[in-house]
């Protein structure tokens, strides 16, 4: 089944404890991105990757890191999480880096930072 997966789905952690949220797609998509969803703010892009080893900042990159060593995986790293990073996170992928492509979202990761 073609899909985007994320792990973990739920995570409660404490300030400063490094964490990684994994994202994987099995559709051979080139373009992947991370969003955070907050009430009243919609979906805001954190980072994106146009292909392997090519990543760039989105609109809210502060406090996050990403890597793209393989086409299928695009992990989101929080080196020192803070309470303002409590949010619902979505990974998304599209076949190519073209404006007109549908974005396929993962199931989401709900992160709480205490």
> Rule CB under 8 A: which residues touch other proteins?
31, 33, 40-45, 48, 50, 56, 58-59, 90, 94, 97-103, 105-108
Closer of 17 and 57 to other proteins (Cβ): 57
We find the least distance from the C-beta atom of residue 17 to other proteins, in angstroms, to be: 26
- Residue 63 or 108: the one with the smaller Cβ distance to other proteins is 108
**Nearest Cα to Cα of residue 50 among 68, 25, 23, 30:** 30
Rounded Cα–Cα distance for residues 79 and 76 (Å)? 10
Closest contact distance (angstroms) between CB of 60 and other proteins is 11
| Distance from C-alpha of 73 to C-alpha of 70, rounded to nearest angstrom | 6
- The token pair at 54 is 């090519």
- Residue 15 vs 26, nearer CB to other proteins: 26
Shortest approach of other proteins to residue 18 CB, angstroms?
26
Distances (CA, A) of 51 to 66, 81, 93: 13, 27, 11
Nearest approach, Cβ of 31 to other proteins (angstroms)?
A: 5
How many other CB atoms are there within 10 angstroms of residue 33's CB atom?
Answer: 24
Which of residues 12 and 14 has its CB atom nearest to other proteins in the complex? Answer: 12
């Amino acid at each position: 089944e073609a899909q985007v997966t994320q792990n973990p789905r739920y995570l409660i952690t404490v300030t400063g404890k490094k964490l990684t949220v994994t994202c994987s797609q099995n559709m051979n998509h080139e373009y992947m991105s991370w969003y955070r969803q907050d009430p009243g703010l919609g979906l805001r892009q954190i980072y994106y990757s146009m292909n392997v080893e090519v990543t760039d900042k989105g609109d809210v990159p502060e406090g996050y890191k990403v890597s793209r060593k393989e086409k299928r995986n695009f992990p989101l790293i929080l080196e020192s999480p803070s309470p303002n990073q409590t949010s619902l996170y979505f990974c998304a992928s599209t076949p190519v880096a073209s404006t007109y492509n549908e974005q396929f979202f993962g199931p989401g990761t709900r992160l709480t930072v205490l």
